[in-house]
Each structure stands twice: as structure tokens, then as C-alpha cells.
């Protein structure tokens, strides 16, 4: 079955109080997706963000972002009053500093008025999620108590999780611990209701998870033995990518690496729990940096660049055999972008998961072989094609930044001589939609014809990322009719006839 969808992060939804959330605008967007005859809504990771605001650097791989909680629903419950809410403004960017300084105070008021601890559903929730929730809630309460410092800077007794310290702080910080459990309860309740609505409209949710966890996270603090740490709980090596034609120093991500032998000894139980948790939230899961399961790049801790790193073998199919044995067949997308070895390609093939193709990668002037795997005539069906992802320029922005010879190559491929970038954008979207790829995902910014002012993320930069918000009037009937028509022309819907 040929399908298509739209990529739009939750935080980029219009409306809300400074950031997109699970309010009425999210439901309206689902209605728009149905109107446009789309099958998928792809989002970015839902975890609570830390410094830098990246959803790929979260305080927990299991928890949800409290910023996405609908404040309007808390008013409906009587836990907040309407005059306590910030003004609703149609902003096109997110001010995370302002959110951090105001949102938690509002959420704390709602918690204090909720009497949530007497709620039987809440009690059931904290029992069912205890395997990660207890550590996470204590971790966040401790971060507040220690002025936001990373756990590596906490006093030795609680940093090393001595039992007497765990008991002491659990008692001392009980109210704040309950607050963080309350946030997760409300987050999950609101999200599940939104997802159920999407599914009822025929829309499946594609979620996204990073392969690695953040160093300053509840995951590493609670489970240090699962990572390559020394006796001081410092990383022995960290993640990144080697130098290449795009970066002379490579990329130093800094995430701790997994202690794969320990994971294997435990039958990958942490990963099984993680994937199972993901499929409570999503219908399909995209795993970022999939090649890291075949081989991962290991950089000695303390290095200032990725130059001194080397490749190590990952768990390969052993992990995915265990996932299938424990959870059955799951719909997973392998993010297999960038330089791939034969063994990485074989791993993706062995899993049977669809890989990814990005149209912006197809016209690199440094590849004149015609064998570029991102050119649509080289696709196989079992893949997902994108014009670009959250890490790429918008297509319109890309047109303005690429070499003239690369833009000419795109025109030749499209059999057009148009000098109008908006027309070239439409033809590029159609190129992705008409490809043999089973699924085509177009970022909302490309459907809207926006330039790099709407770019989501510029990798290896700090500040100004993860900030773009759509406005309410940008998603109109005319645009949805256009999307529906193109979707039908290229056979990606079964319930709409091309006009």
C-alpha cells in the first residue's frame, strides 16, 4: 500500500501558550491531515528537553515533555483559572527561556489543587510505570534541589545512589516527587486521548527516538552499569561521527556509549522496555542513527574533536531478534542516512525495516556516478522518502544555498527549465510523491513553501533551533485540497479520486 504523511513536531503546532501542545490545535491539525488524505503524522521525540532544548537530548527516554500539556484542559478541570494563563499569542518562534521561567509554576499550582494522590487512576499509573517513573521523578526533584546541576555534580552519596541517601531524599523531596509523577500522568493521559483521536480519523503516528541517551539523564543515573562508565561514573568513551567531507573534525556528540555485553547478558531487557514504551505512544517508531547498532564510533572521553575515535561492533541482529521474540513484529523505520558500509546495509536488510531516502541528498555535485542511492530511480519500495528532515534546510532554503550546478542537475532531473523556486518546489514534492517508495513524508514547511526561517534544526549549532511554530492561518482549505490532489494523483490514498 502506497501512503504519505506530514512531518510536524508537536512544538511547531500553532496556538498554545508559547509552544505547540496537546490542545485543540493538535486536534484541528489531525482534522487537516484527514482532509488532505494523509495516512501519517510524523513527530519528533516527546521527551522532556534539557539544555539546548533538543528533543534528542532528554532527561529521560521514557518520560514526556510537560510543556506539551494542554493548560486549557487544566482550566476545564478547575485546577487553574483562565486569568492565571499567559496571553494566547500567535508566535512564530518559541521562547524556551520564558517557558522554563513560567510554565512549571503554573503546573505546580495545578498539581497542588488537583488532590491527585486520591485518584485511583493515578495510583494505578504510578504502579504500572514504577520501573522508570520512580527514578525519573526522584531525579527531577533532585535536580531542582541541587539548583539544576547535572547529577555528576551532586554529593557523592546520592550521585552513587547509596541506599541511605535514596531513602533520605525520597522522604525530604516527597511533594516534588509526586509533582513530577503528576506531570507524567497528565502528559500520558492527554497524549493517549489525542493519539486515539488520530487513529479514529485514520491517521497513524510515527514517533522518533534517538539511539543514545543524554549523559545528564535519569537513565544514566539510575542504570550506570548499562553504559561505558568507569568507577567514578565518568564515560570512558562517548558517541559521535568520524571526520568526512563535510566536517574535518567529525562530530563529537558526547553521549555515553552503551555497555553492550551487559545489555546482552540481560537479554536486552532495558531496550525491550524502551521499545515497548515507545509503542504505547506511537504506531510506528523511527530509530535515529540506526547504523550504531551495527558499528558505533567510539571517541575517548575528554577529546575535543572526533578525530581520535574508532569503530566498535554493536549488537547487530541479536538485539532485533530479542525485540521480535519479546514484542512480536513492530513497525520500525531505520534511519540509515549518511555513509553506510555493506554490513550496515545488510543489517537493515536482515531486519526487514524500511530505510530512509532524502531528496536533498540526491544532487550532490561531488557524486557524478549516477549511482547516488538518494536519486529516486535508484529506490526500492521498502523505504520512506522525504524531501528533507528536521536536520535539513527547507527545500526552498536549500534551493538558495546549493551550487548552481546542483540546482541545474535538479532541473534536468525534473525535465524543467523553470527559474521560479516555488514551482521547482512543487515539482520536487511531486518527485518524492511519485517515487516507488512505499511511504512519502513531506515536512509541513515544504508544503507551506517556507525558506530557512522555518528550519527546525541546524546540526552542530547551539541556539535558534527547535523554535519554529506554524500559524493558524497557514493551514487552509486550499492547501489541504492541493495536498489531497497530489496524494491521489500518485496513488498514495485509497479513498480519494484525483480530479
Residues annotated as part of the active site: 288, 335, 391
Q: Look at the block and give the residue holding cell 485546577.
A: 79
Using alpha carbons, select from 192, 185, 30, 17 the residue that is nearest to residue 105. Answer: 17
**Contact status, residue 326 vs residue 346, Cβ threshold 8 Å:** no
Distance from C-alpha of 444 to C-alpha of 283, rounded to nearest angstrom: 20
Q: Look at the block and give the residue holding cell 550506570.
A: 224
Using alpha carbons, select from 305, 190, 192, 194 the residue that is nearest to residue 251. Answer: 305
**Contact status, residue 350 vs residue 317, Cβ threshold 8 Å:** yes
Q: What number of CA atoms fall less than 13 Å from residue 476's CA on the CB side?
A: 4
CA angle 252-344-443, nearest 5°?
70
3-state secondary structure 191-202: HHHHHHHHHHCC
Using DSSP's 3-state secondary structure scheme, residue 224 falls into helix
Region of residue 250 (phi > 0: left; psi between -120 and 50: alpha; otherwise: beta): left
Distance from C-alpha of 32 to C-alpha of 470, rounded to nearest angstrom: 14
- β strands within 39-112, DSSP E: 40-42
Cell of 63: 518520560
Query: Positive or negative CA dihedral for 350, 353, 354, 357?
Result: negative
CA angle 428-430-436, nearest 5°?
110
266 contacts: CB under 8 Å, gap ≥ 6: none
Query: Positive or negative CA dihedral for 109, 113, 118, 119?
Result: negative
Cell of 109: 499550582
Amino acid at each position: 500500500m502506497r501512503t504519505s504523511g506530514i512531518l510536524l513536531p508537536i512544538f511547531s503546532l500553532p496556538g498554545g501558550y508559547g509552544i505547540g501542545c496537546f490542545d485543540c490545535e493538535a486536534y484541528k491539525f489531525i482534522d487537516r491531515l484527514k482532509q488532505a488524505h494523509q495516512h501519517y503524522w510524523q513527530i519528533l521525540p516527546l521527551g522532556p528537553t534539557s539544555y539546548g532544548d533538543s528533543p534528542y537530548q532528554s532527561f529521560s527516554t521514557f518520560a514526556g515533555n510537560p510543556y506539551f500539556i494542554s493548560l486549557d484542559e487544566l482550566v476545564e478541570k478547575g485546577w487553574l483559572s483562565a486569568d492565571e494563563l499567559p496571553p494566547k499569542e500567535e508566535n512564530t518562534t518559541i521562547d524556551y527561556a520564558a517557558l522554563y521561567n513560567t510554565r512549571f509554576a503554573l503546573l505546580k499550582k495545578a498539581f497542588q489543587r488537583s488532590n491527585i494522590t486520591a485518584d485511583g487512576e493515578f495510583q494505578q499509573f504510578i504502579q504500572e510505570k514504577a520501573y522508570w517513573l520512580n527514578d525519573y521523578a526522584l531525579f527531577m526533584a533532585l535536580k531542582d534541589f541541587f539548583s539544576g546541576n547535572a547529577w555528576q555534580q551532586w554529593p557523592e552519596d546520592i550521585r552513587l545512589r547509596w541506599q541511605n541517601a535514596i531513602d533520605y531524599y525520597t522522604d525530604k523531596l516527597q511533594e516534588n516527587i509526586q509533582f513530577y509523577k503528576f506531570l507524567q500522568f497528565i502528559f500520558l493521559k492527554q497524549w493517549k486521548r489525542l493519539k486515539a483521536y488520530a487513529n479514529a480519523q485514520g491517521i497513524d503516528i510515527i514517533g522518533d527516538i534517538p539511539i543514545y541517551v543524554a549523559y545528564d539523564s535519569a537513565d544514566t543515573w539510575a542504570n550506570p552499569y548499562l553504559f561505558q562508565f568507569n568507577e567514578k561514573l565518568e564515560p570512558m568513551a562517548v558517541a559521535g561521527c568520524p571526520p568526512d567531507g563535510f566536517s574535518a573534525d567529525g562530530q563529537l556528540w558526547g553521549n555515553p556509549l552503551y555497555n553492550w555485553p551487559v545489555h546482552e547478558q540481560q537479554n536486552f531487557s532495558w531496550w525491550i522496555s524502551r521499545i515497548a514504551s515507545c509503542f504505547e505512544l506511537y504506531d510506528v517508531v523511527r530509530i535515529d542513527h540506526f547504523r550504531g547498532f551495527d558499528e558505533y564510533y567510539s571517541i575517548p572521553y575528554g577529546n575535543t574533536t572526533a578525530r581520535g575515535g574508532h569503530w566498535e561492533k554493536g549488537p547487530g541482529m541479536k538485539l532485533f531478534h530479542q525485540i521480535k521474540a519479546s514484542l512480536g513484529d513492530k513497525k520500525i523505520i531505520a534511519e540509515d542516512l549518511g555513509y553506510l558500509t555493506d554490513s550496515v546495509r545488510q543489517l537493515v536488510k536482515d531486519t526487514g525495516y524500511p530505510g530512509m531516502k532524502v531528496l536533498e541528498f540526491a544532487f550532490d555535485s561531488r557524486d557524478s556516478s549516477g549511482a547516488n542511492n538518494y536519486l529516486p530511480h535508484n529506490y526500492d519500495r521498502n523505504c520512506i522518502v522525504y524531501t528533507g528532515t528536521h536536520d535539513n534546510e527547507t527545500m526552498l532554503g536549500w534551493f538558495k544555498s546549493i551550487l548552481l550546478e546542483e540546482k541545474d542537475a535538479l532541473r534536468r532531473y525534473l525535465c524543467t527549465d523553470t527559474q521560479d523556486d516555488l514551482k521547482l518546489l512543487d515539482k520536487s514534492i511531486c518527485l518524492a510523491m511519485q517515487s516507488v517508495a512505499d511511504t512519502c513524508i513531506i515536512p509541513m514547511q515544504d508544503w507551506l513553501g517556507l525558506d530557512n526561517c522555518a528550519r527546525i534544526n541546524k546540526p552542530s549549532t547551539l541556539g535558534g533551533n527547535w523554535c519554529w511554530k506554524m500559524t493558524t492561518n497557514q493551514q487552509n482549505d486550499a492547501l489541504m485540497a492541493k495536498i489531497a490532489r497530489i496524494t491521489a494523483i500518485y496513488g498514495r490514498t485509497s479513498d480519494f479520486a484525483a480530479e
